[in-house]
Chain A
Amino acid sequence: MTDEVYRKIDGIREPDPTLGRSVPSRQQTSRPAIPIPSDGDPATLRARRQRVVLAEPSRSPGGLRARVELAQQTSWGELLISDLIKAQLRSGVLLAVLAAFVLGALPLAFYFSPTLATLRFIGLPVPWLLLGIAPFPFLLGVGLWYNRLAERHERDFVNMIEN
């Protein structure tokens, strides 16, 4: 889903040149004429410049400007990125607090309620079920949830930059 979105808005990321198999072919198709330089530092500079492809005709001028502003750290660009950071941090803290609250409530519950600590459910002690099994699906669920939120924030951000 996300990859499709990126592709549609022509935001296919150029992975760093050290990435594996798929990279050489892509480089060859997009920039066949560039010779492989033999010396060290200018080569990395040139490679770096190639990666941020700003002059593609399909990209809207607004998206281009937004990217440049981000890269040049103008006050607007700074504001954009700090908004993204805040959004990510907010959802992260929210979910972390949720997880910590649920797990942190368990010891208190067992400490203050001896009956809960000795209850049995189909022959098995409830504390063992609550501590030995239940936390793992819960943690996975929170993880999946955060992953969705974070990817949505990033997608929104990319959409905003591109359009």
Chain B
Amino acid sequence: MQLNPWAVASVLVVGVVTVYLGRRMSRFASTTHDFLVARRTVRSRRNAAAISGEYISAASFLGVAGLVLKDGADALWYPIGFTAGFLALMIFVAAPLRRSGAYTLPDFLEARLGSPALRTVSTWFVVFIGVLYMLPQLQGAGLALTAITPAPAWIGSVGVMVVIALNVVSGGMRAITLVQAFQYWLKLFAIGVPTFLLCLVFLGGAGSGAAGSLGEQAPPEFTEETTVDIRTPVTLRVAETTLVTVVGEQEALWVPGREYPVSSGTELVFPSGSKVPVVSDGALENASWLRPTETSQDLLWTYSLMLATFLGTMGLPHVLVRFYTNPDGKAARRSTVQVLLLLGLFYLFPVLIGALSRLYVPKLLVTGRTDAAVLELPTAMLPGLLGQLVVAVTAAGAFAAFFSTCSGLLVSVAGVIATDLLGGRVRHFRFAAVAVAAVPAGIAVTLPIDDLSLSVGLSFALAASTFSPLLLLGIWWRGLTWVGAMAGMCVGGGLVLVAVGLNMLSRYTGGWAPWFVTQPALFTVTAAFVTTIVVSRGTARRVPDDVNAVMLRLHAPDPLGFMRDRAVARFGNVDDRERGRAKHRR
């Protein structure tokens, strides 16, 4: 890909603004309280923007458009699930979780169930989910960088990690709250404006793109002789007999119903007018692309995805950690309602971009790099400088997505490690942040890029099968015991990990995995819930003695003043706070 100087400049600007805002706010951060929960003073409107900014990750900004390009109507369930997750979070978790006064998810579990062992296990799950979720962000950064410059992908991953590590180390949650709120609006702008512009171009072009109209039954086709450079190994299928020239070898006829593995580094030439092949599981015909839920497998897969995203959102560490920053339970609920609005607004745009890219950049279907649709569509539709400028805007938004989600994850994982495994002081937090930043950066550089939303889908499934039963039952059911919680978490998490393993195995041995391996939530979440309830019933005498006091604290309305900050009990750092105030005034 040739160099797009405008896009590089805009990405640099986003990076600089991110660091600048972070440094500015980090002047106010000095205590553990600042670093972990921003002093619990974030107002609901800013918090809503920050939650949305943090939540709209690479999977939302790039991945949704890519999935719509590939799978069509079935992919529309991702944005629905991502948004509906917040409804479940708001209804069942938001206010009680804030009132628990906890600092981190393991802290909440210990407050509720009083078991250090459970705390340790859940700490490791938080770390694991956090790292697993950070990977696609960093890989997305690499992919976005290769779409705008000839630079190698690892520079993008490492660059993003360095920028956010700087911010998080200097000011923790206090520093990143404003950054994330700003980045939500940046992302909305960066996807909204290009979408409007491209839709205008599309309507001006009398509704037909380079590859024909979407209403046609036929698959999209190449309008001119096209050379496609394959960079990651893919398996292709065709809908009609297609003449393909592999550069360096002789021509071949590809027939429907067979799968053609293509290794990386291959160049394929398609003659003008030939139909576009798609990567193995994509929708071949436009007709099936337009139609949701055709087979019973689709149906079950859709329900499984719904369950994973509805319940997974409440188990994501970086989402939960933002709820501790609200002043009280009522504010936590109110900011979630606003998140529903902000997310709904955002998700209208990637869907449109995905649909347009089916018309204009069908060659992405061949390379398997469908996630780059948001970045490649503008240049395909608008030649010349204008297209490059629009790419600069979308690239800025994409990098804002990597920055904000990664920094949220880094804060939550570093917070958990600092309070649970280290001493919980500021220097521990900083040390944990640097250590945690290094791990996913290293993995992202060494592992190949997959579909962003798929690995994100698995993180959702993991979060849904581990933490959502604990949160839901812990908040609303007195009978939960720590043994039951531990058993449920291990069963749910273990099953998802088995599915992840099988999935990777199947990817390297021919893609035989059925739907419940690629999206296992339907079974794993049920198993986790059933295990938790059954084991809790079996160990009913281990129900903590103070369950009523905890329930009162979780559910009593804020004005009664039962809410108590666990930080004071845990760290007792009145002097620490005083020092913080003194620094404040300076």
B-contacting residues of A (Cβ < 8 Å)? 2, 6, 11-21, 36-38, 40-41, 43-44, 48, 51-52, 67, 70-71, 73, 77-78, 81-82, 84-85, 88-89, 92, 95-96, 99-100, 103-104, 106-108, 110-111, 114, 117-118, 125, 127-128, 131-133, 135-137, 139-140, 142-144, 146-147, 150-151, 154-155, 157-158, 161
Contact = CB atoms under 8 A, between A and B. Distances in A.
Contacts of A17: 568
18 contacts: A13-B328, A16-B40, A20-B41, A44-B568, A51-B561, A52-B561, A81-B551, A104-B303, A110-B293, A118-B290, A125-B290, A132-B351, A136-B344, A139-B344, A146-B87, A147-B337, A158-B557, A158-B559
B258 interface: no
Interface stretch (B106-114, B294-302, B443-451, B530-538): B294-302
A161 B565 contact: no
Residue among A43, A106, A117, A139 with max Cβ neighbours from chain B (10 Å): A139
B252 interface: no
A143 B293 contact: no
B555 A40 contact: no
Residue among A2, A70, A144, A147 with max Cβ neighbours from chain B (10 Å): A147
B297 to A, nearest CB: 11
A43 B574 contact: yes
Contacts of A19: 39-41, 327
Contacts of B40: 16, 18-20
A89 B37 CA distance: 27
B344 A140 contact: yes
A110 B84 contact: no
Residue among A71, A73, A140, A157 with max Cβ neighbours from chain B (10 Å): A140
Nearest to A146: B91
A82 B551 CA distance: 8
A131 B292 contact: yes
A16 B552 contact: no
A78 B551 CA distance: 9
| Chain B residues touching A, majority SS | helix
A137 B470 CA distance: 30
Interface string B570-586: 00111101100000000
Interface residues of B, number: 72
Interface string B86-110: 1110111001000001000000000
B399 interface: no
A18 B33 contact: yes
B76 interface: yes
B526 to A, nearest CB: 15
Contacts of A78: 548
Nearest to A156: B557
B206 interface: no
B507 interface: no
Contact of A151 (B83, B330, B560, B573): B330
A142 B291 contact: no
A140 B560 contact: no
B491 to A, nearest CB: 23
Contacts of A99: 84, 87
Contact of A157 (B294, B299, B347, B557): B557
A154 to B, nearest CB: 4
B299 to A, nearest CB: 5
A158 B91 CA distance: 20
A18 B83 contact: no
A93 B40 CA distance: 29
A13 B293 contact: no
B306 interface: yes
Contact of A12 (B559, B572, B578): B559
A85 B84 contact: no
B336 to A, nearest CB: 7
Nearest to A48: B564
Given A78-B548, A81-B556, A140-B344, A135 B80 contact: yes
B76 to A, nearest CB: 4
Contacts of B351: 128, 132
A18 B302 contact: no
A73 B552 CA distance: 9
A103 B555 contact: no
Given A104-B303, A132-B76, A44 B574 contact: yes
Given A104-B306, A107-B303, A132-B76, 17 more contacts: A18-B39, A18-B568, A20-B40, A20-B41, A44-B569, A78-B548, A85-B476, A103-B84, A104-B303, A107-B302, A110-B291, A117-B293, A128-B76, A136-B345, A146-B91, A147-B334, A151-B333
B73 interface: yes
Given A103-B84, A127-B291, A140-B341, A146 B572 contact: no
A135 B333 contact: no
Contacts of A143: 86-87, 90, 336-337, 340
Nearest to B573: A40
Contact of B39 (A14, A20, A36): A20
A11 B83 CA distance: 35
Residue among A16, A43, A89 with max Cβ neighbours from chain B (10 Å): A16
Given A103-B306, A140-B344, A40 B575 contact: yes
B411 interface: no
Contacts of A155: 557
Nearest to A53: B561
Contacts of B575: 38, 40
Contacts of A128: 73, 76, 290, 351, 355
B480 to A, nearest CB: 14
A139 B347 CA distance: 13
B328 A136 contact: no
A103 B548 CA distance: 36
Return the 8 tightest CB-CB contacts between A and B, nearest first. Answer: A136-B344, A20-B41, A154-B557, A131-B76, A11-B559, A110-B293, A92-B91, A13-B559
